[in-house]
Amino acid sequence: MIDTVINCSWKKSEKFNSLDAQHQSIIINFITTSSLQIYKQWIINSKKVPLEEIIKISNTMITSATKAFFKNIKEATK
């Protein structure tokens, strides 16, 4: 399932495709691990926070981190 999502989204991204394989691996690993850990923690916490809120929170955190990652990569290659 994760490979399908990556192939349908990230593999179509010009920014992502401009990265070398090592950096692609770092960002994909971060996104997948973070997403799964947030979901796992939500279950451990007995799903007390509404799922819609968890989705918004995780989306905000992962999107912010991903933007920072690409910004740092861009600055490092100047």
Over residues 57-75, the pLDDT tens digits come to 999 999 999 999 999 988 8
| Residue 26 in this model has a pLDDT that exceeds 70 | yes
Largest CA distance in the chain: 46
- Residues 57 and 65: their CA atoms lie apart, in Å, by 12
Which pLDDT score is estimated for 78? 66
Burial readout 40-73 (b: 16 or more C-beta within 10 A, e: otherwise): eebeeeeeeeeeeebeeebeeebeeebeebbeeb
* Structural domain harbouring 19: 2-76
| Residue 49 in this model has a pLDDT that exceeds 80 | yes
